[in-house]
Amino acid sequence: MSLKDNLQNTAVITDLENQDLSTCLKEPFKRAGILPLINQAREIYVHTPLGATIFHDKKPIGGTFLDVELAKAIILACPNKQVIFYEAPATAHKNIKILFDKLGYTDLADKYSQVRLLDLKEEDASTKQDCVTLHYGFKYPPLILPGFLFDKDNLIISFSNPKAPFSEKVAGFKGLPVSLSGKSLIIGSSIFSKKNLLHLAFSDIGLGLKDFIAGGLSKIYEAGVNCVGINGGRVAGAMVDQIKVHPIEWNALVISSNISVADVVTVALMGFNPPEIGYFQELTQQGFIPMNLSEVSVTEIGNARARLERQLANENPFLPQGTPITTRQWIFGMLGQLSFKDRLGMMGRIIPSIIKYKIGKKRKSGSSAAESV
């Protein structure tokens, strides 16, 4: 039986106003039923969203990375357990070790002996034989995930900063207009043998990404691995375009032992209607969240929900503003983050992938049409 058949439909919203971040997870973990999962785990792997960090004047912009104080809170809430903070290289940040240094994680690991930092580029090189590859035919490029995600003795925690709007399709909510812990886990855990902009485009402009994430989560649950979702922090991010974010005061965390429930509760806090979003429709169909969202039990610590409702009532920066970004703008924006040399190299690698994908999809469509005649 897949772990998916026993997922809990509970979440905790905790208010961070006037709270010490370093101790903010102990009570929510208790109320969300996460303490038994911690006690049972041999190791705890925390996907740490650092790869999308945006810097301005050499300082990181809040809402684009996991604050090291929240990382410390995870350590203190998991006593006597080895905690591994990991991230995969991204287009703008190829060297995760540099990010660990800049954002205070190296100092954190020096202070706490049970902490280890993992760059998935090294994981790719050292334990590639343990990786699990998911194939989607011509719908997506293959998804390569590290073996530790499929070891039932591990507990996986995915942290995410709420960011939106994020999708070319956001006007009709057909894609994925938000970046939360489900997407953060699957995309942030991906091991790329080469950079592939086609893959990245599927990841971040929502072209059917719902199947991509749901497929990855299903495989993890089939292996019997628990995934905790945590969304929030001091600040969230309103996307100006694909590489610009305005920080928004948030001061809340949504926590659940069911990563999809954490996301659906967070999306509602952000002012979206989850049933209108294709991603959550897919999660409902696959049984990750209940058909009737009133069946999700939410416990509140503090008054974050009422405060955020008032804050977003007059003007909600998470909802789409003006003309949605196009695929072309997204791709050239991503290329603009690279040096000229890297830009040429990336184009040389991705153009064959795109051509292969388009030819294969056309052949498949032609074959399907012939069979239906």
Closest CA to 13 of 332, 359, 316, 309: 309
Per-residue confidence (pLDDT) for residue 142, from 0 to 100: 73
> Angle 216-153-94 (CA atoms, 0-180°, nearest 5)?
50
* Extended beta strands in the chain, E state: 10-15, 43-47, 55-56, 59-60, 82-87, 115-119, 132-134, 143-145, 154-160, 163-164, 226-241, 244-256, 297-301
CA dist., res. 169 & res. 1, Å (int): 36
Per-residue confidence (pLDDT) for residue 171, from 0 to 100: 43
Ranges of the chain with pLDDT below 70: 1-5, 90-92, 122-129, 137-141, 165-177, 192-209, 240-243, 321-335, 337-338, 346, 349-373
Contact at 8 Å (CB) between 162 and 178? yes
Burial class of residue 80 in the structure, from the number of CB atoms within 10 Å of its CB (0-12 exposed, 13-18 middle, 19+ buried): exposed
Q: Give residue 159's Cα distance to chain centre.
A: 7
CA dist., res. 338 & res. 346, Å (int): 9
Q: Give the alpha-carbon dihedral of 171, 174, 175, 181, to 10 degrees.
A: 100
- Helix count (H) and strand count (E) of the chain? 14, 13
* 87 Cβ contact list (under 8 Å, min separation 6): 47, 48, 49, 50, 51, 96, 99, 118, 119, 120, 188
Per-residue confidence (pLDDT) for residue 178, from 0 to 100: 73
Per-residue confidence (pLDDT) for residue 370, from 0 to 100: 55
Tokens of 282: 């897919």
In degrees and rounded to multiples of 5, residue 17 shows phi and psi of -60, 130
Per-residue confidence (pLDDT) for residue 203, from 0 to 100: 47
Per-residue confidence (pLDDT) for residue 18, from 0 to 100: 87
> How do the domains of the chain map onto residue ranges?
8-337
For the beta carbon of residue 18, count every other beta carbon within 10 angstroms.
7
For the beta carbon of residue 304, count every other beta carbon within 10 angstroms.
21
CA dist., res. 184 & res. 86, Å (int): 12
pTM: 0.85
Per-residue confidence (pLDDT) for residue 74, from 0 to 100: 96
Residue 33 DSSP class: T
Distances (CA, A) of 264 to 76, 101, 277: 27, 33, 10
pLDDT in tens, 327-349: 556 666 666 766 777 777 767 76
Per-residue confidence (pLDDT) for residue 206, from 0 to 100: 46
Q: Is the dihedral of CA 96, 102, 107, 108 positive or negative?
A: negative
Per-residue confidence (pLDDT) for residue 63, from 0 to 100: 82
> Angle 207-48-104 (CA atoms, 0-180°, nearest 5)?
140
